[in-house]
Structure 1
């Protein structure tokens, strides 16, 4: 899995998953705020978030040597569960916040971005 963050799309983290040939065959877009909340939420908060965002579920689990985060991605064609060390995801989110601080994303969205988004 390859995680990417771009200043030009400040609300989104892209997760690319390679196929057996090594090409990136599947791409998921995950809200940066969703990932961050999933890494810091209590079990009760995670349950509530899971009910609201049913295609992406994030749960952090304490193991003996380190915490582990399970990303569950669901689509009509199937479900994937990906386990990652929590500290790596926390470091990644922190690096994205060095690029665009949390809460300032909207300042980067222009009228041109909105027009492109709502283009029919």
Structure 2
């Protein structure tokens, strides 16, 4: 895991479950920055193709470690499989649906690091509201 005082990143091996019960191992890169304190960016590396990127709420992944959470496009829930604690992650888009199993230990290590950078409940302290409004109004 790489980290600085305001960013953290990690590579995590995960498993893609496909409908015929085949399991495809994949690598995902997780990135966090205090500049966007509510979000975790995940790049799913699929062969030689460009990574498929999704942005998740940090709180969604955190809560998903202990109970089922999410609606619509993203759902997460904890489970145990063959003695290993995992996080199930399902993603839906107009292009299809994917179900991943993420080993819990590397994910929780990464999340712990993000909370060292920006503690829970302190996210708003890291957002420059004036700059965000200026940027938004500039594009109108």
TM-score of the alignment, normalized to the shorter chain, above 0.5: yes
- More strand per residue: 1 or 2? 2
Cα 1:91–1:116 shift into 2, 3 Å: same
> Would you identify which runs of 4 or more consecutive aligned residues in structure 1 move more than 6 Å?
none
Larger Rg: 2
Task: Give ranges in structure 1 of 5+ residues lacking alignment.
Answer: none
The answer on 1:116 being equivalent to 2:135 is: yes
TM-score, length basis structure 1: 0.83
- Provide the secondary structure at the position in 2 that maps to 1:69: strand
- More helix per residue: 1 or 2? 1
User: Would you say how many aligned residue pairs link Structure 1 and Structure 2?
Assistant: 111
Cα 1:92–1:69 shift into 2, 3 Å: same
How far apart, CA to CA, are the structure 2 residues paired with 1:21 and 1:117?
Answer: 35
The answer on 1:38 being equivalent to 2:64 is: yes
TM-score, length basis structure 2: 0.72
The match for 1:82 is 100
The match for 2:46 is 19
Name which structure has the greater RCO, CA cutoff 8 Å, separation 6+: 2
Cα 1:107–1:15 shift into 2, 3 Å: same
Task: Give ranges in structure 2 of 5+ residues lacking alignment.
Answer: 1-27
